[in-house]
């Protein structure tokens, strides 16, 4: 599929982490670094990615524990090679796709995105990855497909958090097809030009920057095209707190905390707060997907 951002960057073009951190200003949000422009309501701002240490040491990945440092401490047990992704359902070419074959077929780009957790903290992350739409096109989406369901690896012997009923395992997520096909939606394979670490969802995770972080399912092993809305892990566990859409919305609070502002990770004891942007700052790009919808009811 032709790249809708007209970006020709590959892994070899990724700026080293040190160079990132030396710069004072960064061009970012919903595009690759080679494009001049910013996404959403913050089109004129610049974004500075968090350091590697922030991104890789402060995580939610309950398959490895519920503490923020548990994934970094425990995820070394995960085996990611070999890795396959089953793509099935309403597709022309269902089957098991080897990770290496996927990577050989995709164009990897750099995307600097805001990341907003439903727990009201945020980061800026320089992902490397490819558009989910291109992967779905490779499998051939059939006309009856309306949703895309995702599933995380289930391997309790390597993912110790799965030995406890914190959630119903394996972790599952879902998107409407138009959300999945949107050019901002990517499958991430790296951070700062390096392979994505286990604790961040190696070797392949979803990234949907206008939604809360739990929608960006990690360590994906199955993608299913379906005509019905699929179940999602947090909506199944606590439907009154976590909706299917889970768009970042400062006007709709979580029952246990306000979503009007967010704590910016990286400031230590003096971490600053900033107002949360509608759709996490990507309103211009994605608001049309929800035209006419009640975003309080469809949270």
258 is in an annotated binding site: no
Q: Which two tokens stand for residue 80?
A: 């990611």
235 is in an annotated binding site: no
Tell me the helices (H) and strands (E) count for the chain, helix number first: 8, 12
217 is in an annotated binding site: yes
80 is in an annotated binding site: no
Rounded to an integer, what is the distance from CA 222 to the centroid of its chain? 15
CA gyration radius, the chain = 18
Long-range pairs of 19-25 with CB within 8 A, sequence gap ≥ 24: 20/49, 20/126, 20/192, 21/51, 23/48, 24/48
Residue 96 pairs in a beta bridge with 86
Q: Determine the Cα–Cα distance for residues 157 and 161; give it in Å rounded to an integer.
A: 10
- The closest of 155, 204, 154, 147 to 176, measured between CA atoms, is 147
117 is in an annotated binding site: yes
- The closest of 19, 104, 38 to 283, measured between CA atoms, is 38
Q: Which two tokens stand for residue 184?
A: 């901002």
The residue written with tokens 């110790």 in the block is 160
218 is in an annotated binding site: yes
216 is in an annotated binding site: yes
205 is in an annotated binding site: yes
- The three-state secondary structure class of 290 is helix
256 is in an annotated binding site: no
63 is in an annotated binding site: yes
With beta carbons less than 8 A apart as the criterion, state whether 281 and 293 touch: no
List the binding residues for Mo-molybdopterin. 59, 62-63, 117, 152, 200, 205, 216-218
List the binding residues. 59, 62-63, 117, 152, 200, 205, 216-218
């Amino acid at each position: 599929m032709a790249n809708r951002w007209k970006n020709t960057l590959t892994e070899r073009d990724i700026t080293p982490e040190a160079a990132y951190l030396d710069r004072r200003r960064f061009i970012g949000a919903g595009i690759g670094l080679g494009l001049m422009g910013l996404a959403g309501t913050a089109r004129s701002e610049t974004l500075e990615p968090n350091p590697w240490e922030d991104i890789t040491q402060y995580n939610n990945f309950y398959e490895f524990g519920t503490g923020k440092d548990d994934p970094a401490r425990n995820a070394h047990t995960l085996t990611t090679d070999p890795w396959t992704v089953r793509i099935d359902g309403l597709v022309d070419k269902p089957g098991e796709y080897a990770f290496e074959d996927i990577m050989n077929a995709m164009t990897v780009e750099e995307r600097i995105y805001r990341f907003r957790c439903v727990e009201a903290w945020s980061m800026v992350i320089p992902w490397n990855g490819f558009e989910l739409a291109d992967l779905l096109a490779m499998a051939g989406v059939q006309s009856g497909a309306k949703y895309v369901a995702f599933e995380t690896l289930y391997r309790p012997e390597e993912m110790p958090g799965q030995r406890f009923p914190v959630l119903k395992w394996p972790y599952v997520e879902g998107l409407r097809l138009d959300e999945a096909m949107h050019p901002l939606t990517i499958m991430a394979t790296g951070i700062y030009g390096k392979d994505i670490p286990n604790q961040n969802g190696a070797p392949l995770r979803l990234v949907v920057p206008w939604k809360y972080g739990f929608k960006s399912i990690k360590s994906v092993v199955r993608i299913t095209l379906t005509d019905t809305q699929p179940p999602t892990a947090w909506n199944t566990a606590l439907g009154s707190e976590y909706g299917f859409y889970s768009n970042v919305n400062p006007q709709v609070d979580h029952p246990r905390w306000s979503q009007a502002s967010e704590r910016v990770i990286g400031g230590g004891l003096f971490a600053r707060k900033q107002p949360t942007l509608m759709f996490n700052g990507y309103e211009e790009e994605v608001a049309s997907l929800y035209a006419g919808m009640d975003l309080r009811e469809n949270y």
